[in-house]
Amino acid sequence: MKRAKNPIIFVGAGPGDPELITLKGKKALENADLIIYAGSLVPEKILKWAKDKCERVNSAKLSLELIVRRMVEAYKHGKKVVRVHSGDPSLYGAIQEQIVELEKLSIPYEIIPGVTAAFAAAAAMGCEYTLPDISQTLILTRMPGRTNVPEAESLRSLAAHKTSMAIYLSISFVDEVSKILKESYGKKAPAVIAHKISQPGQKIIYTTLEEMPEIVRKEKIERQALIMVGRVLSVKQSGPKKRSKLYHKDFSHTFRKW
């Protein structure tokens, strides 16, 4: 059998809204013969871009071995294979283990990035994570669960930097998250819960670290939620006290010289 030349394409589907997929990702879906998608997180609305004859496989119940087998078989038959992950594949996407298996077989692949929930949430809030003299660093992290977190990257050690922070996959640990963050940011520090961001029923809940656990229980939020904290959230409400240099009338640079 002649070896196929179509690389297996990993596509970041974004946080839920099918229109937040990139044009390149949409094109890959439109041309696909087989789409394997993470159905536990990727809404089926994303599949509306696929052609009618495209085979669709929900990977939620499949093991790594079965997922790779389906991709490899389709590839060898010359089919165009697209593997769809939620958000951006590079962030908590578990793509590396799939890539390792493909590389063992010398099967080419391509990765198309997507919009991650932290950036969709910032857009929904009208918020900038990096403000002059407030914060120039954004930390994306998670609490340990079934997947461990290196000790050097514990939430307590990261929170000590007091930067802007977006915490993924941790809403079920909201009491512990609140307790740890209060040690560095203070119990009255503003926090945001972004639930089902960009999807129907989206909620952006402004609260404090002290009140956050109770709010989460009251709203019955158990999954698909992002926790955000940092001084930029206070500035969002009061307005920045200092402008950036980039657009300041007295600031010259390569493209704007006086």
Q: What CA–CA distance (Å, rounded) separates 188 from 209?
A: 6
What are the CB-based long-range contacts (under 8 Å, 24+) for 15-18?
15/86, 15/87, 15/115, 15/116, 15/117, 15/120, 15/197, 15/198, 15/199, 16/43, 16/86, 16/196, 16/197, 16/198, 16/199, 17/120, 17/198, 17/199, 18/43, 18/45, 18/46, 18/48, 18/49
pLDDT tens, position by position, 91-132? 998 999 999 999 999 999 999 999 999 999 999 999 999 999
The pLDDT of residue 246: 56
The confidence band for 237, taking pLDDT boundaries of 50, 70 and 90, is: low
Share of the chain above pLDDT 70, in %: 90
pLDDT tens, position by position, 211-222? 999 999 999 999
Q: What CA–CA distance (Å, rounded) separates 143 from 107?
A: 34
Q: What CA–CA distance (Å, rounded) separates 9 from 81?
A: 6
The token duo for 4 is 């196929």
- Determine how β-strand 203-208 pairs with β-strand 190-195: antiparallel
pLDDT at residue 251 above 70?
no
pLDDT tens, position by position, 165-179? 999 999 999 999 999
The confidence band for 1, taking pLDDT boundaries of 50, 70 and 90, is: very low
Per-chain mean pLDDT for the chain: 91
pTM of the model: 0.87
pLDDT at residue 47 above 90?
yes
Query: What is the maximum alpha-carbon separation in the chain?
Result: 66
The pLDDT of residue 146: 83
What is the DSSP track for 139-156? EEEE--SSS---GGG-HH
Q: Exposure of 254 by Cβ count < 10 A (0-12 exposed, 13-18 middle, 19+ buried)?
A: exposed
For each of the domains in the chain, give its residue range(s) and CATH number, in order of start: 8-112 (3.40.1010.10), 117-238 (3.30.950.10)
- Determine how β-strand 203-208 pairs with β-strand 225-229: unpaired
pLDDT tens, position by position, 132-162? 989 999 999 999 988 899 999 999 999 999 9
The dihedral sign for the CA sequence 131, 135, 139, 140: negative
> Which phi and psi (to 5°) does residue 171 adopt?
-65, -25
Q: What CA–CA distance (Å, rounded) separates 224 from 114?
A: 17
The pLDDT of residue 41: 86
Q: Pick 258 or 128 by higher pLDDT.
A: 128
pLDDT at residue 224 above 70?
yes
Helix segments in the chain, DSSP class H: 23-31, 64-76, 96-104, 117-125, 155-159, 174-185, 212-218, 232-238
Across 93-97, 101-105, 193-197, 252-256, least confident range: 252-256
Q: What CA–CA distance (Å, rounded) separates 9 from 24?
A: 11
pLDDT at residue 8 above 70?
yes
Give me the mean pLDDT over the 19-42 stretch: 95
Give me the mean pLDDT over the 201-206 stretch: 95
The pLDDT of residue 110: 97
The pLDDT of residue 235: 84
Please check whether residue 229 is in contact with residue 190, taking contact to mean a CB–CB distance below 8 angstroms.
yes
